[in-house]
Amino acid sequence: MSALFSPIKLGSLSLKNRIIIAPMCQYSAEDGKATDWHLIHLGGLALSGAGLLILEATAVEAIGRISPGDLGLWSDETEAALAKVLTSIRKHSAMPIAIQLGHAGRKASSQAPWHGGQLIALEDGGWQMVAPSAVPHAQAERAPLALDGAGLQRVKQAFVDAAVRAHRLGIDAIEIHAAHGYLLHQFLSPISNQRADQYGGSVENRLRFPLEVFDAVRAAVPKDSMAVGLRLSATDWVESGLDISQSKLFVQQLQERGCDFIHVSSGGVSPDQKIPLGPGYQVHLAEEIKQHCSIPVIAVGLITDAYQAEEIITTGKADAIAIARGILYDPHWPWHAAAQLGATVEAPKQYWRSQPRDQKNLFGDTRIGQR
C-alpha cells in the first residue's frame, strides 16, 4: 500500500490520503467576497482526489488583506458569498475543506502580483497597515502603525469572529496563518518585532500574541468537530531572524495548547532572505519540527513528484505533503500520483471513463456501461 495514499487524522478530521492542497491566494475577491472565479477554481480542485483542500489566506478584517482582491471573512456579506461557493462545491465533492485565516499586517495594502505586488499609496486607494512595530517591510515603504492594546484585542477578536463564521459555514478545519511575513509571523520574528512590552524582546514574549490568538480560536470552535492547526515559517532565512530552534519552542507550546497539526513553510518576513531553492527545499524544516512534536506535520515546498512525496512519508520526514503551484499546473496531480504508486483515488463518476486501460482500478471498483 502507498503511504501517501494511506489515511490520516488531523485532530477530529479524518483524511483519506496525505495529499493536501495548500492555500493559494487568487486576488480575485470583490471587497472580500468570493466570486465566480472561486467557484470555478475551488470546484476544480475539489475534484482532484486530494485528501484536503485549504482555502486561500482569508483576511479576518478588511485592513488585514494583502491586496484589495483578497478573500475575507469579516462580515455577513463575506460569509454569505463564501457560503454560496461552498454550497455549490459540496453538491459534487465530499472532499474536506479547511480555511486559512490570516492578517497581512505590514504587508497589507499591496498590488496583486500581476500588477507588480508593490505597496499601494494611500492616494491610490491603499490603506494604513498595522504591525507589532512601526517598522516597514522594505526600507522605502511607508511604516505601519504599531498595534496598541486596543488594536491587539481587536485583531484577536477578528480571528475569533472569523473562526466562528467558518464553523457556521461547515468548514472542517482552520489553519491559522503565522507564516510568510504576515502579522502573526511579524510578532514571532525579531526582524519585525521591536516592541519593548510583554509582546516583544525575548522569544517567549514574541510567541505570546500568536499563542493568544491560537488559544482564542481554539476556544471559539468545538474541538470534537473542527480541527485547528497553524502554518509557520520555521526560519526567516536571515541570520538575525526567527530560526528553527525558536520555531521548535513555538510548536511545543502549540501542542500543549491542543494544536491539531503544523504546516511548515519558511521565509517572507524580510527582503534580505536568502533561500536555497530546490526540490523539497523546506522538507528538512518539517523533519526537524516533527522530531520535536507528536502532532501531524505537513511538509511543503517544491514537492512535485509522486515518488518524492511517497519518500517523504515513508521515511517519516513528515506526515503529509502539501502542493500548491504544482496542482495549478496539473489539476489531477493526485490521480497521476495514484497511478504511479499503484493506489486508488476518488474521482467524480462523470470522469470514470477517463482512467487509462492499464489502470482499471485507479478510481476503485467502477463499472462503466456504454451504449
The residue behind cell 526537524 is 288
Active-site residue among 27, 182, 281, 329?
Answer: 182
How far is 338 from 167, CA to CA, in rounded Å? 32
Residue 148's contacts (CB-CB under 8 Å, 6 or more residues apart) are none
How far is 341 from 286, CA to CA, in rounded Å? 23
Which contacts of 343-349 are long-range, i.e. CB under 8 A and separated by 24 or more positions? Answer: 343/1, 343/2, 343/4, 343/5, 343/17, 344/5, 345/5, 345/17, 345/49, 346/16, 346/49, 346/94, 346/95, 347/47, 347/49, 348/47, 348/92, 348/93
Q: Give catalytic status of residue 27 as yes or no.
A: no
Supply the residues annotated as catalytic. 182
